[in-house]
Amino acid sequence: MNHKIFPTLTLVIFTLFNSACTTVGPNYQQPNMPLPKDYKESAELSPMLIEQHWWEIYQDPILNQLIAQIELHNYSLQANQARLRQALSNQVIAQASQSPNVIAGGKNDLGIVANWEVDLWGRIQRNIEANGALAEASAADLAAAKLALQAQLTQNYFLLRLKDKEISLLQNTVSSYQRSLQITQNQYKAGVTNKDNLAQEQAQLSAALVQMNNAQIDRAKLEHSIAVLVGQTPREFSLEPAPIDMKVPQVPLMLPSKLLERRPDISAAERRMAAASAKIGIAEAEAYPSLSVFAGVSIRKGLLGGGELSAPLYTANATQAMRKGALGVFDESVANYKQTILNSFREVEDNLVELQILQQASQAQAEVVKAGREVVGIMNNQYQAGVVNYQSIIIAQASALTNERSALALLGRRMLASVNLIKALGGGWDVQENNLQPTEQQLTKDE
């Protein structure tokens, strides 16, 4: 009779222990970080937020199609997705520790036995907290990786299109120089001009050809980079030249306090801080007794039940060292979190000031380009009238080409800075949309 009552008493004791458990370790609290009310380089804040498909702000259908290929075919992103599935699996494993482990079988005596670890000091609960926070950090890492790849592709695409413009400019310049060289050659044969003018024109044409060849090399490399980003080999990918009209969009600038909710790297750092806090409790629980109980039934022995209590008596200060180590990890994660926030504000401010100054520089450069074109026309007229020598035309043409290429370079820097600003603001990501409940599809994707 006592034998049959014992399992029941065991379960009662288990229930009482479970209800009376104490969770050791600190309860996580996100540290305060003083934030500015506005940005140093801009006071024009917008109530609008960047849309999730932020690249559509550039209104380029080809870019939209390329961005869509990243999530489908980019292998670096797939590696991050696999890491998220690993983290979600660890979260499920940690949660499973709260439930009985039921075993069926036996060599000479068939039966069913359920095992529990009584969470006396909250070690299991802290482990669940830690793995849940790490899963959330992994999800934020995935979002940060996706944003970085999208930004990289967008910038490479704009640089490629700028190379299309530059190559087109150089092709027109080469054609103009070739026509001019032909005229000069005819004049030299007729004795109208000297050999120095012919040599200067030939050198100018050769320099333009070298510049065009270098631009073509740069374009090919950018096309290869885009191919890899969309999961293709350079051999099977190509973009037809299209010198599109690029415009720098107005990027919505949110409140500085919103930055913490919109940057996935900040969220990842914060979640790792939460995990480190929970692991302090895990380390502290190692210094206290642990209790495991079991209950079941077998054919030969009937009802079964019992428990095992163990306590650390001497660990040579190992348990104290574990707690100190966990505290050190937490302090490190706090410092990393705060540093990530500071870096994020620096990135926003850097790109704000770059966009402002480059806009002014582009306006000034546009005037320089206009003036350079006028100078070339004036020099040509003066040369034909015999007022200036041919060296003056060569200098004016070279200067005009340099000005045109400088204007393209400024446009490229502005486009890249706008992408960097969007990236610094977190793209279209929002921590509130960070759904981390593991689904069967996520956990069984590789099966």
CA-CA distance, 196 to 305, in Å (whole number)?
107
3-state helix, strand, coil split of the chain in percent (to 5) is 65, 5, 25
Instruction: Give the pLDDT confidence of 368-386 residue by residue, as tens digits.
Output: 999 999 998 998 888 888 8
Integer angstrom CA distances of residue 74 from 37, 62, 66, 68, 428: 38, 17, 11, 10, 19
Q: What is the dihedral of CA 134, 138, 143, 149, to 10 degrees?
A: 150
Q: What distance in Å separates the CA atoms of residue 242 and residue 48, rounded to the nearest whole number?
A: 32
Residue 447 banded pLDDT, cuts 50, 70, 90: very low
Domain ranges of the chain: 26-97+124-290+336-443
What is the per-residue pLDDT for 440? 45
The CATH class for the domain spanning 26-97+124-290+336-443 reads mainly alpha
Rounded mean pLDDT, 256-275: 94
Which helix (DSSP H) or strand (DSSP E) does residue 290 occupy?
A: strand 290-298
pLDDT digits (tens, 9 = 90+) for 90-115: 999 999 988 888 888 766 777 888 88
Q: Which residue has the higher pLDDT, 188 or 417?
A: 417
- Mean pLDDT within 9-29: 66
Tell me, what DSSP letter sits at residue 165? H
Task: Tell me the average pLDDT of the chain.
Answer: 88
For the beta carbon of residue 30, count every other beta carbon within 10 angstroms: 12
- pLDDT for 187 beyond 80: yes
Query: Which helix H or strand E contains 214, and what residues bound it?
Result: helix 195-229
Tell me the pLDDT band of 153, cut-offs 50, 70 and 90: very high
- What average pLDDT does range 247-273 have in this prediction? 93
201 against 21, higher pLDDT: 201
| pLDDT of amino acid 57 | 95
For the CA atoms of 66, 68, 74, 79, what is the dihedral angle to 10 degrees? 160
For the entire predicted model, the pTM comes to: 0.88
Quick check: 8 pLDDT over 80?
no
Positive or negative: CA dihedral 179, 183, 186, 191 = negative
- pLDDT at site 156: 98
- Residue 39 DSSP one-character state: B
Backbone phi and psi for residue 300, each to the nearest 5 degrees, phi listed first:
-85, -35
pLDDT tops 70 at residue 403: yes
Q: Token match 């079964």: residue?
A: 304
pLDDT band at 324 (very low <50, low <70, confident <90, very high): very high
In the block, tokens 């970080």 appear at 33
d(CA 417, CA 427): 13
Q: Specify the pLDDT at position 47.
A: 80
Between residues 334 and 42, the one the model is more confident about:
334
The pLDDT value given to residue 401: 92
